[in-house]
Each structure stands twice: as C-alpha cells, then as structure tokens.
Structure 1
Amino acid sequence: MSERKAVLVLLEQLEELAPMGYTVGLHIRFATPLVYRSSYPEAWVEVYNSHSYYLRDPLVFWGVGVEGTTRWSSIPLPDPFGVMKKAAAHGLKFGAVSSYGPITSRSIVGISRSDREFSDEELDQLKELTIRLHIEAKPPSELTRAQIEALQCLANGDRHTAAAAKLGISESALKARLQSARIRLEARTTSEAIRKAREYRLL
C-alpha cells in the first residue's frame, strides 16, 4: 500500500471516530503542516480560517507544547478569543486532541462530537491513529545529488535545455532526474516538487 493510500485509509478511520468531524495537521514545520485536512462543518471552517483562529486556538498551543492525547475539556489553557465557545456554537461541543512527534515536525489531530465526551477507549484510538498518520506521512529525508542539482537549476529559473547544458547531461537525462525527484517527493509537477523540496529543506 502506498503512503498516500495508507493516509487516506487512516483518515477514513478517523472520520468514523469523529461524528462532527476532524482536523489533521501532519509534520508541522515553521507553522505550516505538510498535510492538512479538515472535515469539520464548512461554516465553522470558514469562520475559523477567516479570523485566523489557528493563531489563537488553545488546542494548537496545547498540541505544540505538549505531546499526548486529551479531551478538550481537560486543557487548562486560557481562551481569550473564545475559540472553543464559538466552535461549540457550530456543533463542536465535545472533542479531543492528540499531538505526536518532535517539536520540529509535530503532528496534531483534533476530533469532535456534539453529544458526549469521548471515552478513554476512543482517546486510545485517536492516539494510535495520530501516531500512524505521522509515520505514514513522513516526508522523504533525502534526494540524490543528481535530483537536487536538477531541481535547483529549474528553481533558479533555468529552462530544460539550459539546465541540461549546465549539468553536462542530455535533456532526456535531465527529465529523467526530474521525474524521479517528483516520484520521491510525491509531486504531480516539477513546480510542486521544488516547493516540497524547499519545505523539507532539501534544497
């Protein structure tokens, strides 16, 4: 099973656990997640994003500062902007959050329901799913020197012909290097591969 397929399967399991939806931020680096998914109600997502509540969300602060799994109601952090109260008004009355991984590449997963607190067993399931999502979505740790050189040329603005000449290889060999880099980075285009390589600090 491919990494991408495995992540989708885990997200399906997460959806079964969370009647009011979930939010997933995997491998958060420099405040940006490598993978982000949310199945919370659209109206709440729109309010949350338009007000940049991720900068004020006590769940995010907890997840960045603590590695573990807990119910929202157990988090002692202040909520001066009333993010949790506003979430409850959209049906997200009860929830849990799980945080896993090093602070330099932290994954945070939140789930919600409207009728009751999550049980201890459900918290254990959330913890397990968070760990598995973190592992399955792990970014590549390296590219070959040839792949990096090819991507760097295009990142610097060179066209294929110029990049191939600069590297002393044929244009078809350059395209082969770019294709292998796209596969390694799970990118659909070379531009996406360059963006991901920069995010992973491989360029």
Structure 2
Amino acid sequence: MGYTVFLDYTLGGPKFFCCTYPQSWQEDYDTNRFYHFDPVFLQAVAGSKPFRWSQSRIPDLRGVMEAARSHGLKFGCTFSMTSAKGVSLVSIARDDREVKRDEADQLPTILKDVAKWYKEEAPHITARQTEVLSMIANGLREDEIAETLGISVQAVKNRLHQARKTTGSKTTAELVVKALAAGLIQTS
C-alpha cells in the first residue's frame, strides 16, 4: 500500500521526507494537522523498536487511525531511531493484512540503509532551494515564484543556480529529476 520515511525530524521539519501513501491521505493528514495527534507518530517519537499500528499504546483521541483506514491504510508497522540530529522513521502500510514479524524486523535495516544513502548520495540542497525547485516542478515560472515568495526573480535564479551547482546538474530539468528521485520534492 505504501510507506513513509523521514530523516532527522526536528521542530523545523525533516531533512529528508518521502511518502507513497495515497495523495488524498497526505492532504487529509496535513489539512487536519494529524501529526499533532497521530498515535503512531507520537509512539514512534517516544520509542525505538518496530511496532504494529494496532499495538500503539497512545490513545487515538482525534480518530487519526479511523481516517487512515478510510484511505486504505488499514494495517501498518513503524520503526524510529533518535539521534542528536532528530528523529528518523520508516512506516509501512498494507490494506490486506497485518505486517508479519519478519517484515517488521526489516524496518531498522531499511531505515539505516536510507540514512546511509541520504548521507552519501542524495542531493543536498537548502530548504529555500527546495521550495523554489518544487514550484518549478509544479509548473510555475520564475516570475510567478518570485511573486509568490516575495523575492526577486534574480533571487529565484540564484537559488536554482546554487542547487544545480551543488548537485552537479547541468540543467534545471536534470535538477528536478534528481530531486524527484531523491524524494526531496513532489509534484501535485
């Protein structure tokens, strides 16, 4: 059904985020600010061993899990690790059955592998560069981005230039492809 991975989550957000859950769920989750009340997220932040969603010890006071089920996310398992840089998490979901123990036991390795890949190979661009790049990927022109962000067109161009330089991309199109592949941006 899908997965979510984020690395080094702090109050400012994660350094890396990738989610393949249904877009409708992602929008519902953000719109309702479920991250404040999500029992799976709250337990993951507090613990560090794989757990099935059905075994969460945190009360679901806002109906987050019921809402998730309405989007097909019926069964799942989550694992998190905490470091000085923040909380990292991998969560998988199914719609047909509980996650088996051998599947759950793979989550720590998966998260460590993603963290290693991110450290060694993922393009590292700033939040401002990512913001501009996301808007480009979603069809906005540089002048539209500048107006939306309240910055100059030259500032938009500078951010794109620095992101291309950082990632070794020859064109903005190549930069967009790399960022999409790395899960740094998503298209609407």
Determine if the TM-score, normalized by the shorter chain, exceeds 0.5: yes
Q: Matched residues in 1 for 2:51 and 2:21: separation?
A: 19
- 1:108 aligned to which of 67, 89, 99: 89
Label 1:110 to 1:121 Cα distance change in 2 as closer, same or farther (>3 A): same
- Superposed CA deviations along residues 66-113 of structure 1, whole A, max 9, x for unmatched, are 112111111110110010111011111100001023164211111100
Q: Matched residues in 2 for 1:44 and 1:101: separation?
A: 26
CA-CA distance at 1:31 after TM superposition: 4.6
Equivalent in the alignment of 2:166: 182
CA-CA distance at 1:134 after TM superposition: 2.2
Asked if the contact 1:53–1:83 (Cα under 8 Å) also holds between the matched residues in 2, the reply is: yes
- Superposed CA deviations along residues 8-56 of structure 1, whole A, max 9, x for unmatched, are xxxxxxxxxxxx1111111112251001111111111111111111121
Equivalent in the alignment of 1:24: 5
Equivalent in the alignment of 1:33: 14
Q: Matched residues in 2 for 1:100 and 1:73: separation?
A: 20
* Unaligned residue ranges in structure 1 (runs of 5+): 1-19, 140-177, 189-203
- Answer yes or no: is 1:130 the counterpart of 2:115: no
Q: Which has a greater percent of helix?
A: 1
1:29 corresponds to which letter in structure 2? T
Asked if the contact 1:44–1:87 (Cα under 8 Å) also holds between the matched residues in 2, the reply is: yes
- The 5 Å alignment of 1:62-73 reads 62-73=43-54
* Unaligned residue ranges in structure 2 (runs of 5+): 121-161, 173-188
Mark the structure with the bigger radius of gyration. Answer: 1
2:166 corresponds to which letter in structure 1? R
Asked if the contact 1:27–1:134 (Cα under 8 Å) also holds between the matched residues in 2, the reply is: no
SS in 2 for 1:48: helix
Asked if the contact 1:97–1:108 (Cα under 8 Å) also holds between the matched residues in 2, the reply is: yes
- Superposed CA deviations along residues 173-192 of structure 1, whole A, max 9, x for unmatched, are xxxxx79x8359xxx8xxxx
* TM-score, normalisation: structure 2: 0.61
